[in-house]
Amino acid sequence: MSSSSRGLLLAGVGGQGVVLASMIVADALLRAGHDVKQSEVHGMAQRGGSVFSHIRWGSKVDSPLVPLGSAEVLAAFEWAEALRWVPYVQEGGAVVADIRTIVPPGACSDRRSWSTRYPDVDAQVFDCRHLKTRLIDATATATELGNVRAANSVILGSLAAFLDIDLLHWEAAIEGLVPRGTEEVNLAAFRAGREVADARLPRLASAPEGFSGPHEIDIRHEWCKGCDICSRVCPEYCLELDVDGKLAVVNAKACTGCRLCELLCPDFAIEIHPPPAPVVLGAPVLSR
């Protein structure tokens, strides 16, 4: 990146107002007299895609894309997105993140215990790169102000603390761009975001009781008649009939212990055992 231009990044999941927020940032920068380029992608962050926006500004900007490791600030609207985009932030840069977690369906590993492969909310992950952090609960702040959808303005307020743009430009940009009738609440949310203190990080949850890995599927082959009901009802596709009509477990790890196959087996041929020994999941409790 040339020395004349600087960059920032906004990231979130669909529906959080990332694109609108990035338009407001770009507009405020324009009003402050910078040359600004902005580029956004909105593609289903919860399903493996990404919802983010690059913004570069300065006296002269040639490309809107912020190179890896060179953004001054990352504003993340969701915890996992903060972790995902943090490599774009330069050493000593800043991260503004909402600590709210939105667990995508694909990260849910056991529907009975609601255990997930979602990363823990833990500020220490930013320490190694000497990042300044501001971890807030924007959703709670916006809800207190009466409109949960103003959460993006709360994040903008926190972001503004790291940018040297005059408050007037910010407020003009917000008033000009938010939907008619929501100017008041968005301005209030923006001001609240400037002042809001870091949220208390949730204590890391211990492993839900009763969960300790996949369940064991026990097939009593001499009773099984190969009617195929179990394999057809299994939501995780754990069971399959082979060419001889003999039932086989094809994906033992995916079993969530819903017991549909056991309950719907007319021949009492399937038994689901909870895993033998409990395994302690999760990191130690973070004290703060």
Partner 1 sequence: MTDVKSYLRDWTMPHVLCPGCAHGIVLRAFLEAVDQLQLDRDKLAMVAGIGCSSRLVGYVDFCTLHGTHGRAPAFATGLKLARPELNVVVVTGDGDGLAIGGNHLIHAARRNIDITVLLLNNAIYGMTGGQAAPTTPEGAVASTTPAGNTEPSFDACKLLIGAGASYVARVLAATPIEMTKVMADGMSHRGFSFIEVLSDCPEYYGRYNNVGGGAEMLTWLARRDAGVAGPLSSKGFVKHVPSSATPAGMMTGVLKREARPVFAGVRRIEPDES
Between residues 207 and 272, which has the closer beta carbon with respect to partner 1? 272
Could you say which residues in the range 63-102 bind partner 1, by CB under 8 A? none
Contact, 77 vs 98, CB < 8 A?
yes
Could you tell me how many residues make up the chain? 288
The count of chain residues that interact with partner 1, using the rule CB under 8 A, is 17
DSSP state at residue 153: H
Contact, 247 vs 219, CB < 8 A?
yes
Stretch that binds partner 1, among 134-142, 165-173, 190-198, 221-229 (CB under 8 A): 221-229
How many whole angstroms separate alpha carbon 191 and alpha carbon 34?
23
How many whole angstroms separate alpha carbon 23 and alpha carbon 55?
9
Between residues 166 and 228, which has the closer beta carbon with respect to partner 1? 228
Between residues 171 and 267, which has the closer beta carbon with respect to partner 1? 267
Locate 106 and state its tokens: 């694909």
If you compute the radius of gyration of the chain from its CA atoms, what whole number of angstroms results?
Answer: 25
Site string for partner 1, 222-251 (x = CB under 8 A): xx-xxxxx--xx------------------
What is the residue type of 165? Answer: I
Among 120, 122, 198, 267, binds partner 1 (CB under 8 A): 267
Locate 200 and state its tokens: 């208390």
Between residues 40 and 216, which has the closer beta carbon with respect to partner 1? 216
Between residues 8 and 249, which has the closer beta carbon with respect to partner 1? 249
According to the binding rule CB under 8 A, does residue 205 interact with partner 1?
no
Chain residues binding partner 1 by CB under 8 A are 222-223, 225-229, 232-233, 263-269, 271
